Amino acid sequence: MKHNTAFPKFKKHLAVFIKLSLLVFLAMFFFSLLQLVFDRSTMFFDTVLPHIINYLGLFISLMMLIMGITYLRFLRYHN
């Protein structure tokens, strides 16, 4: 099966997506680690975020990272 990308710089955009999702994952991991180790809540604009928001963000960013890496491997395997 030949896979055609919709625009010529697709792999570059996929690499940027993977880097951004890795950055978001590491940030969410750091915030979750702060909550677990130091028992400090994450605050944005003087608003305390619940623990479930951090774990949900961690899960979503991890799934984005896995999706991007899997798609990159799929493209390399089939091209």
pTM equals 0.69
- What is the SS3 string spanning the chain? CCCCCCCCCHHHHHHHHHHHHHHHHHHHHHHHHHHHHHCCCCEECCEECCHHHHHHHHHHHHHHHHHHHHHHHHHHHHC
Q: Does the pLDDT value for residue 27 go beyond 80? A: yes
Residue 2, pLDDT score? 58
Which tokens in the block code for residue 26? 């590491």
Closest listed residue to residue 23, CA positions, set 57, 73, 70: 57
Closest listed residue to residue 58, CA positions, set 19, 31, 20: 31
Q: Does the pLDDT value for residue 1 go beyond 60? A: no
**Structural domain boundaries in the chain:** 29-78
**pLDDT digit string, tens, across residues 41-57:** 767 677 877 778 778 88
